[in-house]
């Protein structure tokens, strides 16, 4: 599918591996027309995007086949019945083994697409995290992340807010950590939900490529 790797395909949905640096859906202007949705639809014409990943993020992306399955899967996301797990490599080492970040987010309009924390106007946003390993020599840690809510740039801003920006983040990381990786080290590695066609539990996994 034009460099889009297929993880799963059935009569109701498909799961693909989105590469870092590619839009999920078309952006503004012809220069931003190339995206996962367009590439997949060349081979699976009824495929419709259900959720999105940031352009800089890689990993599992779920698509529905047809309008009815799109409606059902979209409802699962809206009702927070889809469990999403990410992995990231971040600066430093959190003192705790696990924790939560509960900080409301809003678009930083003068600097969009950047987002920012705003206790008064921001939308409720919750991220759970767990430390998987720590590299003392590099001064970095690998975290498992669960975005309970799905705000734009949520994981990136939340981790920055606790002093652990994601390596390679060209929007939020301080310069040394931005330059510490050739890409944003954030990967969508697991999706768990009930299949919209028969309600059976399904889970898809994809190891982080970093």
Catalytic residue positions, numbered: 54
Extract the residue ranges of the chain whose pLDDT is less than 50: none
The CATH superfamily label for domain 85-186 reads Pseudouridine synthase (3.30.2350.10)
pLDDT value, residue 27: 85
Instruction: Say if CB 68 and CB 12 are below 8 A apart.
Output: no
Beta bridge partners of 60: 17
Give the start-to-end residue ranges of the domains of the chain: 5-82, 85-186
Q: Dump pLDDT digits (tens) for 77-104.
A: 999 999 999 999 999 999 999 999 999 9
Q: Candidates 3.60.15.10, 3.30.2350.10, 3.30.420.40, 3.30.360.10; correct CATH number of 5-82?
A: 3.30.2350.10
Query: What percentage of the chain has pLDDT greater than the value 90?
Result: 94
Nearest to 99 by CA among 152, 144, 136, 156: 144
């Amino acid at each position: 599918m034009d460099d889009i790797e297929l993880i799963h395909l059935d009569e109701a949905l498909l799961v693909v591996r989105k590469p870092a640096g590619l839009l999920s859906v078309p952006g503004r202007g012809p220069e931003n027309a190339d995206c996962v949705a367009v590439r997949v639809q060349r081979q699976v014409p009824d495929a419709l995007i259900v959720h999105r990943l940031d352009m800089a993020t890689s990993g599992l992306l779920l698509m529905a086949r047809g309008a009815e399955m799109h409606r059902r899967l979209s409802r699962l996301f809206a009702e927070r019945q889809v469990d999403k797990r990410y992995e990231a490599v971040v600066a430093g080492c959190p003192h705790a083994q696990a924790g939560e970040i509960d900080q409301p987010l809003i678009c930083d309009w003068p600097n969009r697409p950047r987002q920012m924390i705003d206790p008064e106007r921001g939308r409720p946003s919750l991220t759970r995290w767990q430390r998987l390993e720590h590299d003392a020599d590099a001064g970095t840690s690998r975290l498992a992340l669960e975005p309970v809510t799905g705000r734009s740039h949520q994981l990136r801003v939340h981790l920055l807010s606790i002093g652990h920006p994601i390596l390679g983040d060209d929007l939020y990381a301080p310069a040394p950590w931005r330059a510490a990786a050739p890409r944003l080290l954030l990967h969508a590695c697991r999706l768990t939900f009930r299949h919209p066609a028969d309600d059976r539990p399904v889970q898809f996994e994809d190891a982080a490529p970093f």
